[in-house]
Amino acid sequence: MSDASLNTTSVKSLEDEATFGDFFALLKPRVMTLVVFTAFVGLIAAPVSVHPVVGFAAILFIAVGGGASGALNMWWDADIDAVMKRTAKRPIPAGKVTRDEAFAFGVALSGFSVVMLGLATNLLAAGLLAFTIFFYIVIYTMWLKRWTPQNIVIGGAAGAFPPMIGWAAATGSVSVEAVLMFCLTFMWTPPHFWALALFTKMDYDNAQVPMLTVTHGRRSTRVHILVYTILLAALAIGLGFTSVGGPLYLAVAVVLNLNFLKGAVDIWRRDEAASEADKYLAERKFFKASLLYLFAHFGAIAAEALLAPYGLGGW
Amino acid sequence: MSLSRQHEMHKRRFSRNLGLGLVLAAFVALVFGLTIAKVSDDDFAVTTEEAS
């Protein structure tokens, strides 16, 4: 190829060529931090010791599996991402990575992460990771997301699996504690996303995603947030009485759930006029609090597990 | 415009290749570490004793 042909045909494509960071962005690094953290907590809260290298590898492969499903999600949802302000700069709508590249990248990393997790730990953990990727891509992304306003409720299960996979990687089994940690994230996801949907309403309307705010109205969404937050509070405090809980976890859970309930009641009491007037301040506060909520709950479970050898954690 | 050695494209490609190289090197190190961890595991020792 001569310099002349490069000059005329390839300059634009060279400008848009993907960097390493663009491929990394396909893995949804921010979502990955949640996956890494909750999987880590599931692993260390388990009542067996794991070799540090095996534990590190398990978390890494769970994270890669989570990232792979993020890439496949971006492959399928490129049309939605392009019309939503929040997602318009993702690598595919920005023209940095093609859909085919994202698909190949996601499929390759999915297979890689499942096989490697199976080799590093056990088949149950690998099977759960494979199911999580399948659930997130096929059940949530391809089917539910564009079909039902309950998309977030059922799809949230995919994000709730990592602590259970971490637990399974350590123990080779699934117990009631692992199921409750799953339920904590599962019940937390709907109010977290519905609060987001309340203050980014135009985005979901434009993308024609059947978010609860679009299909059932904003009043109904506020009621849903309150109901789910009440159920979540009962579950989160109940988890404190299992073997992964303890006084520290219980104290954290009580304080955070009271605060979260107050936020949900505030959202429920408000109408659209009040929210528009202060630019959805209560909804934004609730959304921010929800991030702290999940990290603090899992952080407290981790603290109980880490303090246990010194006679300080657990019951 | 000709593609000189200092073209910005080379820098971007180098960073991508370097990133991939580091990821692969880290993966090799991890597999090595996993192997050491697995063969020094008590269960592995019992299994090999049973086999012999």
Query: pLDDT tens-digit profile of A125-138?
Result: 999 999 999 999 99
- Considering only CB atoms, A6 lies closest to which of B3, B19, B38, namely B3
Q: Where are the domains of chain B?
A: 23-52
CB neighbourhood size of A72 (10 A): 24
More confident residue, A176 or A5: A176
Tally C-beta pairs within 8 A across A and B.
Answer: 38
Q: Does residue B51 surpass a pLDDT of 70?
A: no
CB contact under 8 A, A17 and B9: yes
* Confidence (pLDDT) at A60: 97
How near does any CA of chain B get to the CA of A141, in Å? 29
Q: Is the pLDDT of residue A5 over 80?
A: no
Residue A84 vs residues A80, A177, A196, A206, A267: alpha-carbon distances, Å: 6, 38, 13, 7, 24
Q: How many Å lie between the alpha carbon of B23 and the closest alpha carbon of chain A?
A: 11
d(CA A96, CA A297) in angstroms, rounded, equals 37
Average pLDDT over residues A182-197: 94
Give the ipTM: 0.78
Q: Residue A65 pLDDT > 80, yes or no?
A: yes
Tell me what pLDDT residue B9 has: 75
Which residues have C-beta within 8 Å of that of residue A211, sequence separation ≥ 6? A149, A151, A152, A194, A197, A204
Of B9, B12, B34, the CB nearest to A53: B34
**Are A69 and A142 in contact, with CB atoms under 8 Å apart?**
no
Calculate the alpha carbon distances from A199 to A125, A287, A295 in Å.
37, 10, 22
Residue A9's pLDDT is: 39
- Residue A8 pLDDT > 60: no
Judge whether residue B27 has pLDDT over 70. yes
With 0.90 as the threshold, say if the pTM is over it: no
From A3, A18, A120, residue closest to B34, measured CB to CB = A120
Q: Cα(A232)–Cα(A190) distance, rounded to whole angstroms?
A: 10
- How confident is the model over A247-282, as pLDDT tens digits? 999 999 999 999 999 999 999 999 888 888 888 999
The answer to whether the Cβ–Cβ distance between A17 and B3 falls below 8 Å is no
Nearest to A67 by CA among A119, A97, A40, A105: A105
CB A264 within 8 A of CB A225: yes
**A109 CB near a chain B CB, below 8 Å?**
no
Task: List the single best residue of B7, B30, B35, B40 to mutate versus A (max A Cβ within 10 A).
Answer: B30
- Rounded mean pLDDT of chain A? 91
